[in-house]
Structure 1
């Protein structure tokens, strides 16, 4: 016979029906007296630390003008950034041809929106355009030399456009190469597995600076004199190979996390190796390692500034070159803060979008 409760249930706190900002503050920051005290102390410390920085960067800063005489000296002189903004974005790209860079930026933004916004249709066509059509169009627009466009050598590229070019090519190239290397390292064929292991361990054991030096200085010594490799092309190849090795280890971690029964079940259904990998194993593995993949992308994006050592003027190098101008001496802090802000915006955006993808693809059960 089922037992019955004889005592009264203890009184419980009524549910908090508040919504919006006040409800969030109550639930997350002031749910207990101790948490409320910690929140107030933390906010006080942040105000004490950040207020001087805000005064320097915003409230006492100089924003308008075209020379250093417009800077009062009390706060940041963002006039320096405004006066050199075009060189920061385009580098040494000819002024009359900068519309081509703007068009590439516009096409890239449209493709990113097409791929990132879930409600937009025809994602397969978007992937096809992004991986096949857009690179060809961007190449002819930026380099020129055909279709009536003036030729612009890569030595004239620089600033944000060069940073985005290196990062985009590195990201798009390193991921598929890394996937192939990860599969090769788990292969049952000794030659394939051995080549993959040697490739991965070699590139992971060499600093990226060394790779860039080898691509810029040493590689021309091993090719015929009549063969000329563009410096930017050499840097792109080196960056892709370097980061593909790191990407391979990230993907291999995801492959090892997939139960062996998944592949065995696919094999029992008559699927071949590439069918099992493409339809069963890789989709699950890549979903598990999204944080690691995006972390590698962020590290790649930040390391684009290393191309300075081989004479390529990316965003940071262009800002440093502007600081050597006698008309703008003494504004290094503003330049480096602006460069840090640009890098942070791109890296933070990638991080937040990766978290959105994780939530969207989450199919497990939360505890």
Structure 2
């Protein structure tokens, strides 16, 4: 009886059962493939077609790249080394590397100057892109444009110094009038900086030493990917504040400011960029006195900046329109003036909304810098289409050169895109 009673007592486990792995069809690669690639018959067909297309492309390009020749002095020598087999002639990138990066005429013994300017640029943009860094580093950001100008162009150091003085004067004018209107303060600051720069044109020649520390290099000697980077960084940096001013000016209650901004934005948006580049190359110099000829690089920067600022203004205006009216009323209830309300409440929210549109314009603008090749500025595309393909050594070689141009542009544009996505996630505070 005791045996019967002992068998009737329920069994209670004293330890937990070890966790078992999920079935192979419920987790891992098989589940991911079933959910994402073969969820429906239509998705399965599209997956198979895409895999066939990828195989077709890779089966032709991978052997061509792996058989590439990196050490040769000409296209004919590459073909002799390949001996009838299919392969790329990457030797052109090694042979013309300096021209692809720095241009055709930039002095070879001065390559360290733009290289140093590029390294300093990475340091200068760090506190702007990653706002967790100490704010004191913004001093480096503010001084970088003037240092980079002197490094790349050389000549007397008084030119960037007076340019810095002009911006300081413009800032004080902006701080004086911004309480009345952001647009008046902004454009007044620009006008003050330009007047100071014009006055410095009469002073700098009297201070220029006979032998400057850095030799002067004219803008016509700039070229290669360096020229694309200079145009992209300069125009994006200038067009963003100008676009903000235009967006605010278009919403201004002052009729003159409002309609000037509207006319500017609508006119620039209705004109192709290549037309503005031809204007910069041919016509813009007629607006200046003969003895005060403006450099072609500066004229191109002016036109590209005007073009991109008009589009950025509309993107930011969309961000301003997306804000509820209560945000403006909240700023008024706190007793903030116009400049304080825009700087502390309105613009931070509007710019956060406008990040995708601004990044889209920045990426497009950076790629559009290749259009300067049509006005005889030898950027990386101009170098490929001009001196490199015109030489007898590499005539008829296209794929390797243009793939290299695509690769360097992709690296920068993809980096901008990834940063914008990180910034959006960092600023996504709506639902916290």
TM over 0.5: yes
2-structure distance, mates of 1:353, 1:251:
19
Query: Which of 353, 358, 365 does residue 419 from structure 2 map onto?
Result: 353
Deviations 1:212-239 (A, max 9, x none): 1111111222322111110111111111
Q: CA deviation at 1:139?
A: 0.5
Mark the runs of 5 or more structure 2 residues left unpaired by the alignment. 1-20, 157-211
Q: CA deviation at 1:210?
A: 1.2
* Distance 1:324-1:149 versus aligned 2 partners, 3 A rule: same
Deviations 1:307-354 (A, max 9, x none): 112221111111112111011111022211211222122111111111
Q: Is residue 73–residue 393 contact of structure 2 (8 Å, CA) maintained in 1?
A: no
Match of residue 82 from structure 1: 94
Match of residue 95 from structure 1: 108
Match of residue 248 from structure 2: 183
Confirm or deny that 1:126 pairs with 2:126.
no
* Distance 1:183-1:62 versus aligned 2 partners, 3 A rule: same
Match of residue 68 from structure 2: 61
Q: CA deviation at 1:209?
A: 1.2
Match of residue 208 from structure 1: 273
The structure having more radius of gyration, on CA atoms, is 2
Query: Which of 150, 170, 175 does residue 140 from structure 1 map onto?
Result: 150
Confirm or deny that 1:336 pairs with 2:346.
no
Q: CA deviation at 1:81?
A: 1.3
1-structure distance, mates of 2:60, 2:289:
59
Query: Which of 72, 78, 82 does residue 70 from structure 1 map onto?
Result: 78
Q: Is residue 243–residue 309 contact of structure 2 (8 Å, CA) maintained in 1?
A: yes
1-structure distance, mates of 2:411, 2:220:
26
* Distance 1:125-1:209 versus aligned 2 partners, 3 A rule: same
1-structure distance, mates of 2:340, 2:59:
58
Q: Is residue 216–residue 310 contact of structure 1 (8 Å, CA) maintained in 2?
A: yes
Q: CA deviation at 1:16?
A: 8.2
* Distance 1:31-1:330 versus aligned 2 partners, 3 A rule: closer
Q: CA deviation at 1:116?
A: 4.0
Q: CA deviation at 1:31?
A: 7.6
1-structure distance, mates of 2:78, 2:381:
24
Question: How many residues in Structure 1 have an aligned counterpart in Structure 2?
Answer: 349
Match of residue 3 from structure 1: none
2-structure distance, mates of 1:326, 1:362:
56
1-structure distance, mates of 2:26, 2:412:
32
Match of residue 319 from structure 1: 384
Query: Which of 324, 334, 341 does residue 276 from structure 1 map onto?
Result: 341
Deviations 1:122-180 (A, max 9, x none): 1x2333422x2000100111111135111111110000111100001100000000000
2-structure distance, mates of 1:24, 1:291:
33
TM-score scaled by length of structure 2: 0.75
* Distance 1:180-1:24 versus aligned 2 partners, 3 A rule: farther
Helix, strand or coil at the partner of 1:313: coil
Confirm or deny that 1:240 pairs with 2:305.
yes
Query: Which of 373, 391, 397 does residue 308 from structure 1 map onto?
Result: 373
TM-score scaled by length of structure 1: 0.88
Q: Is residue 68–residue 90 contact of structure 2 (8 Å, CA) maintained in 1?
A: yes
The answer to which of 27-36 and 79-88 deviates more is 27-36
